[in-house]
Chains A and B, each alone.
Chain A
Amino acid sequence: MDASLTQMSAAALAGAVAAGEVTAAEVTDAHLARIAATDDRVHAFLHVAGGRAREAARAVDERRAAGRPLGPLAGVPLALKDVFTTIDMPTTCGSAILDGWRPPYDATITRRLREAGVVILGKTNMDEFAMGSSTENSAFGPSHNPWDPSRVPGGSSGGSAAAVAAYQAPLGIGTDTGGSIRQPGAVCGVVGVKPTYGGSSRYGLVAFASSLDTPGPIARTVLDAALLHEVMSGHDPCDSTSVDAPVPPVVAAARQADVSGMTIGVVPEFTGEGFQPGVLARFGEAVELLEALGAKVTEVSCPHFSYALPAYYLIAPSECSSNLARFDAMRYGLRAGDDGTRSAEEVMALTRAQGFGAEVKRRIMLGTYALSSGYYDAYYGKAQQVRTLIIRDFEAAFERVDVLVSPTTPTTAFPLGERVDDPMAMYLADLCTIPSDLAGNAALSVPCGLSPDDGLPVGLQVMAPVLADDRMYRVGAAVEAALDSRRGYPLLNDARGLA
């Protein structure tokens, strides 16, 4: 098997398949081999669908042989977060309560990937129901960071990010509710994108927090992320919250990779205390680089961003407490204690006690409390008001600047186990990413070097206005190009965790 195939970008692979230089089947086999060789150390996948992947690849090759047109990512393998329904693979959401569940329908994104000839290699690990920042909340054990397997790959889309960083797949799809694409992207040294809310369909995405959940691409290059962004996005009549507007021209923006004339705002609230010095150092250099590339840089205060984390931990749990009520043993998934002596209510309670992990239970209880009569106004209601203030902060900022930037995360990848018993420390990993989830605007994380204090990747977060996703791709691609050219090779070549 040609190992060099796994090193190629999605754009290059698609080009090679289209040109007949390699078959989609060969590309798929190479990646399946890489998974087989490395996943005992990474544990990115919960389910590898080798047979189905080879079939999908053959279909692309036959299509090409028949002279029919191929999409821009036809024949390119992809790692799909196990939160999207797939008719031919299990969908567990990292939870024991859905262990073995086979959905009878495909998510819209699953369907669009198949129609585009993208080869789904399997389903990736995640924090249970996307609640977490490390994949340690997966019922099936954590994934490991390819830079250092003793560290977390971030979460909740840690499996997809780790798979892409480990060259198991050039593309991954995650979901971002509080930072669950950008944070693992940052700590794994890959590109993670949260599109504008409603820009990518949620139909078939098992809900954590409906008003926040946003599917998005994970890739090793900004252009690859943009190509996937265009394939997976667009209006979906099955999702009422889907935006009925053209997909922003993100591929063109990624190719443009030019920040000259742009005004870029630095959020001072996200550069101070509590941030790892090495992270701040790399972030500062990235800002200087943007200035050198012709952007005007200014500081823009967003005073309400500091209330984003507490507001998020009321809104997201509230919605989750309702969304996760359906897991009750009656129709699908785990059923515990149904021995003929127990009532339906007892079976429901036992199943939920046994099937949900500690973090999921914590959030269901938080949310149930926040929505309770007598507490609603003080908690859920107040959090929604904070959300409005954060939206106004963004609107005011985007009147002055084209995009905002900050570090994606306060720290680099932390060691497995370090924050398992300290939920507050775990929640802080999403400090910088949460505002864009609450406001629904677009944001991405692009690698901006290794932290000098621990040699682990640092992410630069670029935040763009609603439906102006293309702007952040221009910035991300410019930073990527300048840093790669300065370094002389892609950042991931320094990842030694699997050596």
Chain B
Amino acid sequence: MPGRTDPALVGYDEAVARYEPLIGLETHVELGTVTKLFCGCPATFGGAPNTHVCPVCLGLPGSLPVPSRAAIEYTIRIGLALNCSIAEWCRFARKNYFYPDMPKNFQISQYDEPLCTDGWLEVTLGEDEVAPSGQGDGGPRTFRVGIERVHLEEDTGKSQHKGGATGRIHGADYSLVDYNRAGIPLVEIVTRPVEGTGALAPAVAHAYVKELRDLLRALGVSDVRMEEGSLRCDVNTSLAPRGSGRWGTRTETKNVNSLRSVQRAVHYEIERQAGVLDAGARVIQETRHFHEDSGVTTPGRSKEEAQDYRYFPEPDLVPLAPPRDWVEQIRGSLPELPAVRRARLQDAWGITAAEMTDIRNAGALEEIEQTIAAGASPADARKWWLNELARRANDTGAELASLPITPADVAAVAALVRSGALNDRLARQVIEGVLAGEGSPDQVVAARGLAVVSDDAALNAAVDEAIAARPDVADKIRGGKVAAAGALVGAVMTATRGQADAARVRELILTRLTGS
């Protein structure tokens, strides 16, 4: 917005020392139903532009919406998992505003009668997240985030603005509109203002969206891919002087499209608003746009001059009154929720909270659980997924779950190592073979001829060769410097192309040189 520049930012630590942040989050989730919310068109992501459309989702004159039972059920699932009350009677409402990617120039949404209200979601920050803030005793902290409402609405189409510098509508030469997304069911989850987070506000915002994402995934209601836009976040932030007992003016930051961005956006807004307040100015209530590249927010539409949406009950739809027995049936079918599951597995596997956090951050919980179910020990399962496989996923930019190796394969590799048939180095080659599509671990072992050389006669020949090649090292060992054996072990391993059991090689060298 020309003609307006914000005062300089205030450093984060200084900002949260003098101001108390208040955050709130509005999250939009595209539901993974087969069809759109009000018609039978596929609700799948992508497709050639304007191919998943019909008179209803194009809003053609005369067309009428018919609500999807599945979308309503999914919304109730989310509401129940967030400890909400499910309305016995509610209505859809029209939100009126003009925009070319909105087929009817109104959106069927919910207004003052949402389907789910008044719930909560607990999020826990680990020691590593809490400690740097200097808050409390530095131990893990749990925040209960209040959920104000969960409602169901239709998504809009998607505009692409061509020819402008910014990719936004102003300055574009022309715009293209794809209505494939129009009418996909969208659930909006609105938190209450989260108080008392202090310096942890960005971390709490981050942890909330992460917990919500895991919850939605566990419920099976959405694929929750932030990069494809099936989970979108608006973050509200305000600051008030510490101890003032009042709330400041909030901004609403949009385009926050990754977990990391959630944290960065709150962090930036705290620094920016502190600067505005320090300069004696007032924070303007407005929508701001987050920029992934620079990590800053810039002003969008001002809420103070915002349009009036003229909500009124949608007259094309009858009120929604989910029968109580149906709601209870849905409640009964809810899966174990992620936080409960993590606590159970952490206990069963005998690992620490920090170790569980590592697993979760790597996105490996499901894989590790299945690998253990396939017979591996928790330690082995964690080792292979978090080290070798996480590294390979990282190298190729893939997600762990999408690697072409199954938990059963990993369990088989771990078993081969445990039995002594493979060592770690060979096991890594087996994994490489499985990932390269060479077959199951057994097939890779057979095809590549991978096996620990356990024939002492063959090994002794290699040991003798190594000793002969390095008489100086042999002398040191004879003289009692057992640690020097490493160099000879390495030489033997090289000579056997890694197929020897290193521990056995070491034993043989020491026996030969020291007699022990």
Given the complex of chains A and B, what is the CA–CA distance between A472 and B317 in angstroms? 28
- Stretch from A2-10, A166-174, A200-208, A445-453 that touches the partner: A200-208
**What's the Cα separation between A173 and B285 when bound, in Å?**
53
Q: Roughly how many angstroms separate A239 CA and B106 CA in the complex, as a whole number?
A: 19
B58 is contacted by which of A98, A331, A372, A380 (Cβ under 8 Å)? Answer: A331
B458 within 8 A of A: no
Question: Quick check: A203 and B63 within 8 Å, CB to CB?
Answer: yes
Contact B66 A237 (CB under 8 A): yes
Bound-state Cα–Cα, A339 to B281, Å: 44
Any A CB within 8 A of the CB of B94: yes
Q: How far, in angstroms, from A345 to B310 measured CA to CA in the complex?
A: 19
A313 vs chain B, min Cβ distance (A): 16
Query: Which residues of A sit under 8 angstroms from B67, Cβ to Cβ?
Result: 240
List B contacts of A211 (CB < 8 A): 315
Task: Decide: B312 and A206 in contact? CB cutoff 8 A.
Answer: no
Pair B169/A344 contact, Cβ less than 8 Å: yes
Contact B104 A325 (CB under 8 A): yes
A380 touching B316 in the complex, CB below 8 Å, given contacts A103-B62, A203-B62, A330-B100: no
- Mask of B99-127 contacts with A, CB within 8 angstroms, 1/0: 01001111000000000000000000000
Chain B residues within 8 Å of A430, by CB:
none
Within residues 299 to 317 of chain B, which ones have a CB less than 8 A from any CB in chain A? 308, 310-312, 315-317
Most chain B C-beta atoms within 10 Å of own C-beta, residue among A103, A322, A328: A322
A312, CB-defined interface residue at 8 Å: no
Q: Does B398 touch A at the CB level, under 8 Å?
A: no
Q: Within the assembled complex, what's the spacing in Å between the Cα atoms of A326 and B102?
A: 9
Say yes or no: A239 contacts B64, CB within 8 Å: yes
Report the interface size for chain B: residues with CB under 8 A from the other chain.
Answer: 30
Instruction: Determine the main DSSP class of B at the interface with A.
Output: loop
Within 8 Å by CB of A345, from B96, B98, B315, lies: B98
Minimal beta-carbon separation of B471 from chain A (angstroms): 86
Interface residues of A in 235-275 (CB under 8 A from B): 237-241
Of A93, A103, A239, A328, the contact of B98 (CB 8 Å cutoff): A328
For A91, give its contact among B59, B61, B175, B318 (CB under 8 Å). B61
Please name the residue on chain A nearest to B170 by beta carbon: A343
- Chain B residues 461-477 with CB under 8 Å of chain A are none
Residues of A within 8 A of B175 (CB): 344
Give the CA-CA distance A328 to B103 in the complex, in Å. 9
Q: How close is B52's CB to chain A, nearest CB, in angstroms?
A: 15
| Complex contacts, A240 vs chain B, CB 8 Å | 64-67, 316-318
Chain B residues whose C-beta falls within 8 Å of the C-beta of A326 in the assembled complex: 59, 61, 103-105
Further pairs besides A91-B62, A93-B61, A239-B64: 10, Cβ < 8 Å: A101-B61, A207-B61, A240-B66, A240-B318, A318-B312, A331-B58, A345-B98, A371-B311, A371-B312, A373-B310
Chain A to chain B contacts (Cβ below 8 Å), 23 pairs: A85-B61, A91-B62, A105-B63, A202-B64, A210-B316, A237-B66, A238-B64, A239-B64, A239-B66, A240-B64, A319-B312, A322-B96, A322-B312, A325-B98, A325-B105, A326-B59, A326-B105, A327-B61, A328-B105, A332-B61, A348-B98, A371-B311, A371-B312
Closest 5 CB pairs of A and B: A325-B105, A210-B315, A371-B310, A211-B315, A206-B61
Which residues from chain B sit less than 8 Å from chain A, CB to CB?
55, 58-67, 94, 96, 98, 100, 103-106, 169, 175, 177, 308, 310-312, 315-318
A residues contacting B by CB (< 8 A) are 84-85, 91, 93, 98, 101, 103-105, 107, 202-207, 209-211, 237-241, 318-319, 321-322, 325-328, 330-332, 344-345, 348, 368, 371-373, 376, 380
